[in-house]
Structure 1
Amino acid sequence: MVDVIIVLVAYALGNFSTSFIVGKLMANIDIRQCGSGNAGSTNVLRTLGKKAAAFTLLGDSIKGVAAVLIATYFGNAENIELITGIAVVLGHNYPILLKFKGGKGIATTIGVAVITNYIVALICIGIGLIVLIKYKYVSLASLVAIILFAIILSIHSIEYFLFGAILCLLAVYRHKDNIQRLLNGTERKIGEKLNSL
């Protein structure tokens, strides 16, 4: 029963959308009605600037860290940390408090990954940053990092393989429109303003 509560708490934590809160506090806007409509740090960056985006990235990452730590200290089931990590990302992507219209889960996944396996996470983040610096596409950098994370975890154990694979599939699905734009050559690079702004 305790483990079920922990997973539900993790999902609830994911529901607290940092971008939504930052948008309301800093500009009295619903970030989901601005720019790309995504409740994530990249849309916040284009809409409200670097400071707001930094707060969003940090806040969403902390959710992932907090959820896994709660599971680590209070959970009983084997691999409850991994299940909880998935739950908090699901809460971010599909928050019931925001009618299931959330972000793409990358920042929260970063928090989960760092606290779950910081060595692999830092390697993947580093490679993702290299991709970002070289190509200027946040979506491409995010996808490269999360796919690499899943691949590396696959050599750890079947549980970690499933954990990494689920996080990867969630990220790829949420980025399906970005992937199409990347293939079409129409994806916006970091720093580009949306035409509607």
Structure 2
Amino acid sequence: MQNYFIWIIIAYFIGNFATSYLTSKMMGKIDIREHGSGNAGATNVLRVLGVKAALITFIGDALKGAIVVLMVRPLGHAQLTLACGLAVIIGHNFPLLLKFKGGKGIATSIGVFLVVDPLAAAISVGLGMILIVKSKYVSLGSITGMASLPFVLLILRRPLEIVIFGLLVGLLAVYQHRTNINRLLKGTENKIGSKRKK
């Protein structure tokens, strides 16, 4: 049990590795948390610094999720793997090293699920991408893609623990997008290519 706790803590601090923060410092000489929406994620980087910086951020955030699962899975404990997967997402969203001001966890969640269940990840991400293309709302696609995870896992008849894990990841993503949901309902959410509304 003690070793479990150590691995979870390690996963959390790997999640603290803020790709957006480092990318914005190197490519824009800014702290991304002080610009745009103030969120330390790929979407805000896209709005502030452009496609190249956003792509680097997304890949970096996804990689840390995948790396944690690949690192822990050989230990042979499914529950530990899922716990560490959740820990790296929480570490990204609420990083101690950045005073708990992180991103919304979409890229990191995708990275985790690409290793945990590639098919489920592909279906959910595909659904999210379709909505982004059709609606031009990144937030709507992100919310829907992550929220669909537990249902996709149920349809694929995955083990209950995987379904519960998907539910937790989905709920966390929805919670992190609560302000976006409010703006979507009010019709004030920003679309791709639009200037940020105050």
Normalised by the length of structure 1, the TM-score is: 0.95
Residue of structure 2 in register with 1:108 after alignment:
108
Q: Which amino acid aligns with 2:183?
A: R
**2:113, 2:191 → 1: CA distance?**
25
- Note the 1:110-149 alignment, pairs <5 A: 110-149=110-149
Deviations 1:123-153 (Å, cap 9, x if unpaired)? 1111111111100100100111111112122
Residue of structure 1 in register with 2:158 after alignment:
156
**Structure with larger RCO (C-alpha < 8 A, sep 6+):** 1
2:54 paired with 1:50: no
Counterpart among 173, 183, 190 of residue 185 in structure 2:
183
Shift of 1:195: 4.9
Q: Which amino acid aligns with 1:62?
A: L
User: Can you give the 5+ residue segments of structure 1 that lack an aligned partner in the other structure?
Assistant: none
**1:17, 1:145 → 2: CA distance?**
23
- Note the 1:29-108 alignment, pairs <5 A: 29-73=30-74, 75-108=75-108
Please tell me whether the aligned partners of residues 150 and 170 of structure 2 are also in contact (alpha carbons under 8 angstroms): yes
**2:167, 2:180 → 1: CA distance?**
19
Residue of structure 2 in register with 1:166 after alignment:
168
Q: Which amino acid aligns with 2:44?
A: N
Shift of 1:26: 0.9
Deviations 1:59-96 (Å, cap 9, x if unpaired)? 000010001111112x3534221111100000000000
Shift of 1:3: 2.3
**1:28, 1:78 → 2: CA distance?**
41
**SS of the residue 2:48 aligns to:** helix
**1:159, 1:9 → 2: CA distance?**
22
161-170 vs 98-107, which deviates more? 161-170
**2:64, 2:73 → 1: CA distance?**
14
Residue-pair matches, total: 195
Normalised by the length of structure 2, the TM-score is: 0.94
Residue of structure 1 in register with 2:27 after alignment:
26
Identity of aligned residues (%): 48
Q: Which amino acid aligns with 2:42?
A: S
Please tell me whether the aligned partners of residues 153 and 161 of structure 1 are also in contact (alpha carbons under 8 angstroms): yes
Please tell me whether the aligned partners of residues 15 and 89 of structure 2 are also in contact (alpha carbons under 8 angstroms): yes
Q: CA RMSD in A?
A: 1.2
Deviations 1:84-134 (Å, cap 9, x if unpaired)? 110000000000000000000000000011110001111111111111110
User: Can you give the 5+ residue segments of structure 2 that lack an aligned partner in the other structure?
Assistant: none
**1:132, 1:123 → 2: CA distance?**
14
Please tell me whether the aligned partners of residues 128 and 142 of structure 2 are also in contact (alpha carbons under 8 angstroms): yes
